[in-house]
Amino acid sequence: MLDKIVAKTEERLIEAKKNKSLEELKDEVSKLEINKDFPFKEALKDPQIAIISEVKRASPSKGLIAEDFDYMEIAKEYEEAGASAISVLTEPYFFQGANVYLKEIAEAVSIPILRKDFIIDEYMIWEAKLLGASAVLLIVSILDIVQLKKFLDLAHDLGLSAIVETHDGDEIRTATNVGAEIIGVNNRNLADFTVDIENTISLRRCVSDNIIFVSESGIKTKEDVTKLKENNVDAVLIGETLMKSDDKKSLILELKNG
């Protein structure tokens, strides 16, 4: 499945570059203010535990998650409930995301936004900046170490934070070696889509305390969040559980304070 997603991402890039070249994109970004306050990274330093609430309509493993998808209302609910940051899917084929979701949400809320996508080209990082993101996702399993370092440095140069996503100890070592300041552990096995938050807990010892540590996927209950908090996890990224909830505000408060 990951290979299919990457292949579709390559097709998207070809089309995007036909509409706007990399040089044109850079020129537009050059007109923006670049500051190095890194609001996304700062937001994850919550003394309790930071909640990254995800705006996600569908996924390859679950299909359509949210038939009624008022992404602007959802984002505003997240902010009002005290979410630390918002993750927005922009991958259109497998997650039914869109760049416009990110752009409009970033204009409407004051908390930082993560562009959740399969970044395989620097074009997508420049694009994320133009869309209004405060952070990008860099997935170790789809990038070689040269690409990873280049993309991480570019993100930081543009004032963007980056969650460097890993699945095992080897990938964590790679993330550490390129200077990742935020390391995420995806609890989803990309081969069979099974999920286990114990993956985060077992890998926590591999990451030093000066790096922000994020758990992704499979977090469903306040007990899950409490368990992760007790194991020194700094932040959790929660998508499907929130998207399926009829009362997202109450659920975020429960997860954060329960």
Number of domains within the chain: 1
Closest CA to 212 of 185, 239, 233: 233
Convert the pLDDT of each residue in 120-156 to its tens digit. Answer: 999 999 999 999 999 999 999 999 999 999 999 999 9
Residue 145: give the domain boundaries. 2-30+39-257
- 80 included as an active-site residue: no
Write the CATH number for 54: 3.20.20.70
Q: pLDDT 10s per residue in the chain (258 long)?
A: 889 999 999 999 999 999 999 999 999 999 999 999 999 999 999 988 999 999 999 998 889 998 889 999 999 999 999 999 999 999 999 999 999 999 999 999 999 999 999 999 999 999 999 999 999 999 999 999 999 999 999 999 999 999 999 999 999 999 999 999 999 999 987 667 788 999 999 999 999 999 999 999 999 999 999 999 999 999 999 999 999 998 999 999 999 875
Catalytic residue among 41, 53, 56, 134: 56
| C-alpha span between 175 and 152 (Å, rounded) | 10
Structural element, H or E, at residue 64: strand 63-64
| C-alpha span between 254 and 48 (Å, rounded) | 12
Helix then strand then coil, % of the chain, to nearest 5? 45, 20, 35
- 217 included as an active-site residue: yes
Catalytic residue among 77, 79, 127, 165: 165
Helix, strand or coil, per DSSP, at residue 186: strand
- 210 included as an active-site residue: no
Catalytic residue among 41, 54, 129, 215: 54
- 216 included as an active-site residue: yes
Catalytic residue among 217, 240, 248, 256: 217
Catalytic residue among 79, 91, 127, 216: 216
- 116 included as an active-site residue: yes
Is 98 exposed, middle or buried (CB count within 10 Å of its CB: 0-12, 13-18, 19+)? middle
- 77 included as an active-site residue: no
Catalytic residue among 59, 77, 99, 116: 116
Entry pTM: 0.96
